[in-house]
Structures are given as C-alpha cells and as structure tokens.
Chain A
Amino acid sequence: MLDLTYEMPKPKTIAGAKHDWELVIGMEVHAQVSSNAKLFSGASTKFGAEPNSNVAFVDAAMPGMLPVINEFCVEQAVRTGLGLKADINLKSAFDRKNYFYPDLPQGYQISQLYHPIVGEGEVLVEMGDGTARMVRIERIHMEQDAGKSIHDMDPHMSFVDLNRTGVCLMEIVSRPDIRGPEEAAAYIAKLRQIMRYLGTCDGNMQNGNLRADVNVSICMPGAYEKYQETQDFSHLGTRCEIKNMNSMRFIQQAIEVEARRQIAIVEAGGKVEQETRLYDPDKGETRSMRSKEEAHDYRYFPDPDLLPLEIEQAWVDDIAAHLPELPDDKKARFISEFGLTDYDASVLTAEVESAAYFEEVAQGRNGKLAANWVINELFGRLKKEDHDITDSPVSPAQLGGIIDLISSDAISGKIAKDLFEIVYTEGGDPAQIVEDRGMKQVTDTGAIEAALDEIIAANPAQVEKAKVNPKLAGWFVGQVMKATGGKANPKAVNDLVSKKLSS
C-alpha cells in the first residue's frame, strides 16, 4: 500500500577535539493503556481524582489480595503490537520486579521480563525533510504503573497517592536505531500518533501518560555501521540511561547534554560508566542516580499469583481485522486519492481527528481545495484562539458548504474568506448566509461592464496611461472590485478590462 520511499537521515554529529562524534540512541517508551479499569484490579484509571480514591485493595497490596487480569488491557497491547507490525506472542508471562519505594506498596512491580506479549516490530519515522528512519522495535511488554509521590507539600514528609498504582502500561523498547535528538522526538511523536489512531494510549505527555527512558551513547563515525552489520554492541560506546522524561523538548536537550558529557569524558582519556541518570532542565545537566543503584538489583522471578497469559490466534486475527487505518496508510491514501502533497498529507494525518475532519470535507469535493481550506483557514483560525479541531466552531458540513460555493463560482475566493469568518463566529448555513447578505459573486458580465464603463468614463487620464503601460490595468480591476463590493468574478473583470483597454 505504502510506496513512499525515503532517504535515510544523516546521524547527528557533535564536533570533538580531533574528530566528529556520532550519537546512538535507544528508547524505552512507557505508554499508559487507555482502559476504564486497572491492569489487575477493578479500580478506575481516571486522571485527576481525589487522592487514593481510585484504589482497590489489590492496588494497595493488602495481604491476601490476588491480581486478576483485565482482558481489554491485553487486547490493547496486542492492538498496539499489530499497529507496529510486530510479532504477537500467543504465550507470555508475568514476572515480579522487586524494589522498595513508598509509591509501590507491593514491594514489586508486575511486569513481563522473560516472555513479553509483543516481539519485534518496526516504526517508520519521517523527519519532515524527505528523509525517514526505520526504527526497529525489540519488544513491548505490559506492566503496572507505580503511584505518585509528592515531595513539596511538607518539609519533612512525602505524600503518596496510589490512584495511578496498577494502571496498565506498555513499555515499548526500541533497538539503538535512533541517531539524534530530533529523531528521538520524531520517534516518540510517531509512536504517539500510531497509538492515538489505534486508541490504545491517549498520548498525553503532560499527564505522564507517555514518558520515556533514553539510552544514549557516542561512537566514532563508521562504528555504528559495523554494529548494524554484526549486531555486535562492542562497536558502540558505553550507554547511559536518562530516566523518566515526559517532554519532547527536555528529551532533546537531555540527549544533547548527555552526549556532550560523554564526549568530554572520553576525550579527557576517561571511560563512560554505564549508569542511570536524571536530567535537570533547570541546570541543563544530567546527574547520576548512583544512590539508587542498589535498588536496581531487581531479583526478577515469575509471579506465582498469575498463570502464563495464553491468547488464541483467532482472537489476534479478529483484532487485526478490525484495526483502524494507520497513519502511514492514511497519508499514502490522501496523496493518491485526493492528490495532496506529501507535506499537506502529513499535516492532515498528524492527528486522527484532523484526518477524519478533512476526509468529511473532501468527500465528493476537490481534495486540494479542501486541504487548503482545512490547513490554511481552519487550522490557522483555530490556532489563533487555541482551539482544537475537536471543538471547531465550523463543522465539516459547513466548511464543505463554503467550498461548494467557491467551486460553483457562486462566491469569489475573497468573499469566501469573509463568509468563513461569519460562519466561524456566528454559525449558520453558508449558502443561506450568502443568499441573505447578497454576497453572491457577480458573474453577469453586463453588470460588471456597466461598472467598468463608468470607471473608464470618469478616469480618461488613467485610461491613456494604461494603454501605454498595460501593467496599470490592475488599477481598473481593483476599482471594479471596489465598486461591486468584492463580489465581481475576478476572471470576468480581468477579461473585460483587458478587452476594453486594448480597444
């Protein structure tokens, strides 16, 4: 279906003392599964509730409570895997990852280390300049989210809210195929887009529903190609993991800052130590979380409370059969079906809601014209007032109505913009508004001619000048438009003006 071909982007390089350095990045993206209830309990996943109100005894790890898996969360993980063209494992299993922290009352997180539900897949990450990177997915597993600790409400105490505890996360693990900060951001944006199309994660980074751990290492030019050939990690530098970031901007900054830190170490003759680090956006630096190193001795073992998760191929096939159209396919179809440019198709398919809106407008109409109106007029206007496509005051039917009036030459392009403004602020049926307010384009050449004759008669000097210099004809066109309140058909006016002036 998709036959768009892309060049590979160049890796980001940072100049060193003797030679350039390249970046190698792998990411672990944590995406909160969209579901009503938690992964192993019947408590709500709703954001922003009273503290500790969305908590079942399972989530609070009361003695004797047993986890029972939410089948829909499994379905969502499978759907995400299918959307990333990944292998689905019909048999997966849950393990306990042991560590102590106040927002993890069980003392362990239920995760899938040894047998994840989703295996290898891939994501095409377009960079917007005609290049795209294919990023391989290593695996996706399901796991429980932890609670939330608040440290700034009291000088001596931390406050813990377990509402988030036990909500289902998908951890999407990439191979180290990402080669720069911009690619990292584009990769997350693409994952977000795909999951929003699938309805498996709302992608809200601000609420922490999508966050990432980023593994960064540096290498000399040429070393990465050797790694790709052999899949031997020894060609790459030692990586550091920057934990838990939920802002595209900070992710990019952190990668750059961390790469520069590693370059400085290596060029001074030192060695990068493999460790987890935190990015501090205020100071613009990453710093070691060595204090937590001991807590990272997770002592994984299979969770004895949960049998292996076995799913049936027929069930997976059924989910696959009902997958919505994915962004890449939709974009390719918009290009072939509506004749859109690559850029316009990207803009329109960025959000699933925008794509649906456009398609409703474009149905049975000129696709390019529809794209222009949706992107330039509607998006521009919405952005001005910080509105979203989902709360657009102009419905697809209304915008379609405006476009119909343009296509049938009932109104000029200029009047159409006025009409759009009226519909946007006051609402109403575009055709009716045009009728009621006399906005119809004058295509009646008689009326245009009468107006033009009047102007010619009143401005003999201008006529003489225009006859010598045809460029001045524009002045007459402008005068006619003015005289007709902008309603004259510009083409008809142009034709008449040049006819009259040359005679």
Chain B
Amino acid sequence: MSIDQSTAAKVAKLARIKVEDDALPALASEFNTILGFIEQLNEVDVDGVEPMVSVTPMRLKRRKDEVTDGNQQDKVLANAPDAREGFFAVPKVVE
C-alpha cells in the first residue's frame, strides 16, 4: 500500500490538521515510511497468538455507579473561546 498526496490531504482533513499543499509530498513520503515498517512487522507470523494489550496482567478497573463528579459548569466552560448562558457557543453547525 502506498500513500499518495491526495490520500495524505484526505487524512489531514479527517484529522482536522491544516497542511499546506507544498507540505503534502513530504507528508506522503513519511506515511509511506511508516507503512513500510508496518509491512515489515506484518511478515511475522502471529497466527494463533492472542494480541497483547498490557505488559502486566491487569483487569480493567471498574467504578461504582455513584455520582462523584460534575457541578462545575464554570470550570468546564473556563477554556471555551465563547460561552453563553451555560452553553459552549460555537459557529453554527446545522445539517
């Protein structure tokens, strides 16, 4: 698999990262290097090997169904560029 410039541009757009056109060739080439490495990894036969998700045997930590958080509207909104009447205010998005 090889990444061309238009694929690189699409990935950037999906991730909402602004990339100037003249930066695309370098980006596509970097992607290809990464994918090349992954292809190399793919050569290892892992049939029947369970994916390792943690280096130590751990159980997913659980919480109880108790309300322990919230009621901090001011803090939640503190970093918002614009907030009104308790809401985040963002440029109009409507389908």
Partner of A159, one of B54, B60, B71, B89: B89
Contact A156 B86 (CB under 8 A): no
Interface residues of B in 11-45 (CB under 8 A from A): 13-14, 16
Q: Given contacts A42-B67, A44-B67, are A51 and B95 in contact (CB under 8 A)?
A: no
Interface of A is mostly: loop
CB distance from B49 to the nearest CB of A (A): 15
Q: Which residues of chain A are within 8 angstroms of B71 by Cβ–Cβ distance? A: 53-54
Minimum distance in angstroms from A184 CB to a CB of chain B: 23
- Indicate which residue in A51, A56, A101 contacts B87 across the interface (CB closer than 8 Å): A51
The chain B residue with its CB closest to the CB of A299 is B14
**Residue of B13, B58, B95 ringed by the most chain A CB atoms within 10 A:** B95
Min CB–CB distance B34 → chain A (angstroms): 15
Q: Which residues of B contact A54 (CB under 8 A)?
A: 70-71
Task: State whether the Cβ of B66 lies closer than 8 Å to any Cβ in chain A.
Answer: yes
A59-75 interface (Cβ within 8 A of B): 60, 68-74
Decide yes or no whether B47 CB sits under 8 A from chain A. Answer: no
Residue A308 is within 8 A (CB to CB) of chain B in the complex: yes
Does A159 contact B88, Cβ atoms closer than 8 Å? yes
- Please tell me if the beta carbons of B60 and A310 are within 8 angstroms of each other in the complex: yes
Which of A156, A159, A161 has the most C-beta atoms of chain B within 10 angstroms of its own C-beta? A159
Interface size of B in residues (CB-CB distance below 8 Å)? 37
Binds B, one of A229-237, A287-295, A341-349, A469-477: A287-295
> Does chain B have a CB within 8 A of A37?
yes
Q: Which of A132-184 contact B (CB under 8 A)?
A: 149-151, 153-162
Contact of B92 among A158, A278, A289 (CB under 8 A): A158
Q: Does A307 contact B (CB under 8 A)?
A: yes
20 A-B pairs besides A42-B63, A158-B93 with CB distance below 8 A are A37-B69, A42-B66, A44-B67, A51-B85, A52-B73, A55-B70, A55-B76, A68-B63, A70-B64, A72-B64, A150-B87, A151-B92, A156-B92, A159-B84, A159-B87, A160-B90, A292-B95, A307-B58, A308-B60, A310-B59
Residues in B lying within 8 Å of A, measured CB to CB = 13-14, 16, 53-54, 58-73, 75-77, 82, 84-95
Q: Which A residues form the contact surface with B (CB < 8 A)?
A: 35-37, 41-44, 50-58, 60, 68-74, 98, 100-102, 149-151, 153-162, 278, 289, 291-292, 294, 297, 299, 302, 306-310
